[in-house]
C-alpha cells in the first residue's frame, strides 16, 4: 500500500498537475492540504476520473483538506475539523481507509502557520497543536494502525532546515513548536521519512521566490507519521522532489509530495 501527503496550494489551480501525479505514482491513500476551494468547487469528477474516491473538507479562499483513496479501497469519514478550533478553518480530516484488519485510521492536517513569533497567530498555533494532541490521544490508541500526515508548519530539527543558524528561534524553528511535534512522537507516532533516513537533510517545501528550489533553500515541514503498526510495515519512504519542478509546463505547488510504501498488513 502506498500512502502520501501533499500540500497542493490550490486544488483548482493544480488540478492538471495533481492528475498527472496520481496517474504516474498511483498512491492508494493521499492526504491533500491547501485546497483553497469550498466543497462545491472541488473538482470531484476530474479526480474520480483518475481512479479515486474523494472525501473533502474545504472552505472559501484558504485552507481545506481532503483524503483520496484509489480504486475500490473503502473510505469512511471519522472526523471533520479539529474540535474547538473551528475559527482556524478547515484544517483536519480523518477517515477509516481499508477494511477489516487492514483498516487504517488516517488523519490529514494543515497546521496553522503562525506567521511570526510576535504575531497573535503564534500562540494560537501552539494551542491548535495542543488541541490536536488532546483530540488524537482521546480518539486513538497508539497500538492500533493510524497515520497522521500533512503540512505541520514546523521544522522539527536543525537538519530539516536549509539555514538553522539564521532561523533558530524564529517561526517554524522554535522550541515551543518543536515541543508540540515531540509530543506527537512521544505519544506513539514515528516520523516515517526521518526514521528511514536519519541523516538526510531533505526538504518538502521551497519558496517560490528567488530560485529557492535550485539554491536548495528549503524546509522539511510535511510529514507522514505512523503508529508502530504502520511504521513497522514501511518498505520505502521518500520525497517526490521532481514534482516540485514544472511538469509539462504546468506550475508546481511550493510543496513536494511525501510518499511511503507499506508492506501488506500481517
Residues engaged in binding DNA (CB under 7 A): 7, 9-14, 34, 36-38, 60-62, 112-113, 115-116, 121, 151, 153, 172, 205, 207-210, 219, 221, 251, 254-255
Inter-residue contact 25 to 4 (CB < 8 Å): yes
Phi–psi pair at 189, nearest 5 degrees: -90, 145
128 vs 83: CA distance, rounded Å? 10
Compute the least distance from the CB of residue 244 to DNA, in Å: 11
Give the chain's end-to-end CA distance (angstroms, integer): 13
With a CB cutoff of 8 Å and minimum separation 6, the contacts of 12 are 36, 37, 41, 43
Question: What is 1-38 written as a DSSP string?
Answer: -EEEEEE-S-TTTTHHHHHHHHHHH--SEEEEE---S-
87 catalytic per annotation: no
Compute the least distance from the CB of residue 124 to DNA, in Å: 11
Comparison of 26 and 59: residue with beta carbon closer to DNA: 59
240 catalytic per annotation: no
Comparison of 120 and 199: residue with beta carbon closer to DNA: 120
Compute the least distance from the CB of residue 88 to DNA, in Å: 9
Q: What is residue 213's DSSP assignment?
A: T
Identified catalytic residue from 52, 57, 110, 129: 110
Comparison of 9 and 108: residue with beta carbon closer to DNA: 9
Identified catalytic residue from 28, 105, 151, 254: 151
Compute the least distance from the CB of residue 125 to DNA, in Å: 10
Comparison of 207 and 236: residue with beta carbon closer to DNA: 207
What amino acid positions are annotated as catalytic residues?
110, 151
Amino acid at each position: 500500500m502506498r500512502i502520501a501527503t501533499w500540500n497542493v496550494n490550490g486544488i483548482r489551480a493544480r488540478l492538471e498537475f495533481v492528475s498527472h501525479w496520481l496517474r504516474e505514482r498511483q498512491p492508494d491513500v493521499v492526504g491533500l492540504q491547501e485546497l483553497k476551494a469550498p466543497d462545491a468547487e472541488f473538482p470531484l469528477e476530474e479526480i474520480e476520473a483518475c481512479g479515486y474516491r474523494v472525501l473533502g473538507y474545504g472552505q472559501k479562499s484558504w485552507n481545506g483538506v481532503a483524503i483520496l483513496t484509489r480504486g475500490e479501497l473503502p473510505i469512511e469519514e471519522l472526523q471533520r475539523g479539529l474540535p474547538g478550533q473551528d475559527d482556524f478553518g478547515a484544517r483536519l480530516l480523518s477517515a477509516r481507509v481499508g477494511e477489516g484488519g487492514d483498516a487504517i485510521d488516517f488523519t490529514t492536517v494543515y497546521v496553522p502557520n503562525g506567521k511570526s513569533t510576535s504575531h497573535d497567530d503564534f500562540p494560537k498555533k501552539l494551542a491548535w497543536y495542543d488541541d490536536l494532541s488532546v483530540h488524537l490521544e482521546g480518539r486513538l490508541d497508539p497500538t492500533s494502525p493510524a497515520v497522521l500526515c500533512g503540512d505541520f508548519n514546523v521544522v522539527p530539527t536543525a537538519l530539516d532546515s536549509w539555514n538553522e543558524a539564521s532561523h533558530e528561534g524564529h517561526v517554524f524553528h522554535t522550541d515551543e513548536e518543536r515541543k508540540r511535534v515531540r509530543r506527537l512522537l512521544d505519544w506513539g507516532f514515528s516520523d516515517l521519512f526521518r526514521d528511514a533516513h536519519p541523516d538526510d537533510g531533505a526538504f518538502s517545501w521551497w519558496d517560490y521566490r528567488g530560485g529557492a528550489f535550485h539554491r536548495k533553500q528549503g524546509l522539511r515541514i510535511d510529514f507522514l507519521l505512523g503508529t508502530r503498526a504502520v511504521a513497522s510495515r514501511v518498505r520505502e519512504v521518500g520525497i517526490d522532489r521532481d514534482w516540485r519542478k514544472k511538469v509539462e509546463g504546468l506550475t508546481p505547488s511550493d510543496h513536494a509530495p511525501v510518499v511511503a510504501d507499506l508492506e501488506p498488513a500481517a
